[in-house]
């Protein structure tokens, strides 16, 4: 916080210097990013305690006012199946990669922009429900009129019909195929369909399953 820098600077700075600024050498002489990132796995078990401590400590050091908290949501996508990560889901892609699974990251900051907490959510989580617990109990009130609710319902139904129509065409293509199809290309087409209709995409869990009994080699489920 006293000397902000980009992430790549961690390798040459954090590893090579201790808290007092003295030069140190990593065990075995190795300086690689993976060792730093693996250390975060150990810190994750203490995440809540660390956040609570920082909220109090930063409030004392910088006279922070916590009467108003701001939050923002971003997403990180995976170039792969990400089958071992249950949070990796398809949803609204801020990177325009609707063909990839992703997770949502929520950051909470004070009115002065000081970060005080974060959470990781499933990739299909909506912004309105992605609230972060930042060391204290907060109450969030979301008010929607009946007219707004009906409008949103109509919009979701319209996008859902578009998805259903697109799935019918995609399923028909798979059923009528006379030769094996490229699963990766099919997944990209599916991703684009969900991206164009992201308001209703969270309703669906769709995948291509290998099926040797079909000429396409896969089936849509």
Q: Yes or no: say if 50 and 117 are a contact pair by the CB < 8 Å rule.
A: no
Q: Vertex 109, ends 43 and 90: CA angle to 5°?
A: 70
Greater pLDDT, 95 or 27: 95
Angstrom distance (rounded) from CA 57 to CA 15:
25
Q: Of 101-110, 112-121, 146-155, 175-184, which range is least confident?
A: 146-155
For 129-153, b where at least 16 C-beta lie within 10 A, e where not — what string? ebbbebbeeeeeeeeeeeeeeeeee
Confidence of residue 71 (pLDDT cuts 50, 70, 90): confident
Determine how many CB atoms are found less than 10 A away from the CB of residue 40.
9
Torsion of CA 184, 214, 161, 159, to 10 degrees: -10
Report the pLDDT value the prediction gives residue 21, as an integer from 0 to 100: 52
Is the pLDDT assigned to residue 150 strictly greater than 70?
yes
Q: Yes or no: say if 147 and 186 are a contact pair by the CB < 8 Å rule.
A: no
Is the pLDDT assigned to residue 135 strictly greater than 50?
no
Greater pLDDT, 146 or 139: 146
Overall average pLDDT of the 67-91 stretch: 85
Greater pLDDT, 144 or 56: 56
Angstrom distance (rounded) from CA 62 to CA 126:
33
Report the pLDDT value the prediction gives residue 144, as an integer from 0 to 100: 55
Per residue in 167-212, pLDDT (tens digit) is 888 888 888 888 888 888 888 888 888 888 877 887 888 888 888 8
Overall average pLDDT of the 67-72 stretch: 79
Confidence of residue 28 (pLDDT cuts 50, 70, 90): very low
Strand pairing class (115-122; 208-210): unpaired
The structure tokens listed for 191 are: 């991703």
Overall average pLDDT of the 60-71 stretch: 80
Report the pLDDT value the prediction gives residue 93, as an integer from 0 to 100: 79
Q: Yes or no: say if 108 and 71 are a contact pair by the CB < 8 Å rule.
A: yes
Greater pLDDT, 180 or 67: 180
Angstrom distance (rounded) from CA 190 to CA 60:
50
Q: Which residues pair with 72 in a beta bridge?
A: 107
Overall average pLDDT of the 102-115 stretch: 85
Angstrom distance (rounded) from CA 80 to CA 82:
6
Quote the strand ranges of 29-184, DSSP E: 69-77, 102-110, 115-122
Question: What one-character DSSP code corresponds to residue 98?
Answer: T
Confidence of residue 82 (pLDDT cuts 50, 70, 90): confident
Q: What is the mean pLDDT of the chain?
A: 77
């Amino acid at each position: 916080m006293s000397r902000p820098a980009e992430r790549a600077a961690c390798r040459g700075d954090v590893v090579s210097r201790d808290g007092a600024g003295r030069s140190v050498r990593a065990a075995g002489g190795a300086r690689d990013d993976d060792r730093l990132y693996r250390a975060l796995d150990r810190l994750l078990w203490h995440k809540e305690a660390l956040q609570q401590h920082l909220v109090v400590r930063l409030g004392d050091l910088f006279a922070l006012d916590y009467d108003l908290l701001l939050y923002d949501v971003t997403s990180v996508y995976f170039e792969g199946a990400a089958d071992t990560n249950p949070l990796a889901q398809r949803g609204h892609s801020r990177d325009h990669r609707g063909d990839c699974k992703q997770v949502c990251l929520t950051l909470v900051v004070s009115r002065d922009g000081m970060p005080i907490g974060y959470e990781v959510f499933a990739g299909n989580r909506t912004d309105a429900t992605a609230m972060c617990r930042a060391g204290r109990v907060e109450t969030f009130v979301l008010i929607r009129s009946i007219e707004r609710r009906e409008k949103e319902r109509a919009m979701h139904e319209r996008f859902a019909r578009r998805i259903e129509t697109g799935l019918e065409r995609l399923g028909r293509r798979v059923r009528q195929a006379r030769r094996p199809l490229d699963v990766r290309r099919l997944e990209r087409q599916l991703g684009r369909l969900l991206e164009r209709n992201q308001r209703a995409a969270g309703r669906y869990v769709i995948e291509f399953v290998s099926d040797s009994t079909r000429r396409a080699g896969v089936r849509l489920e």
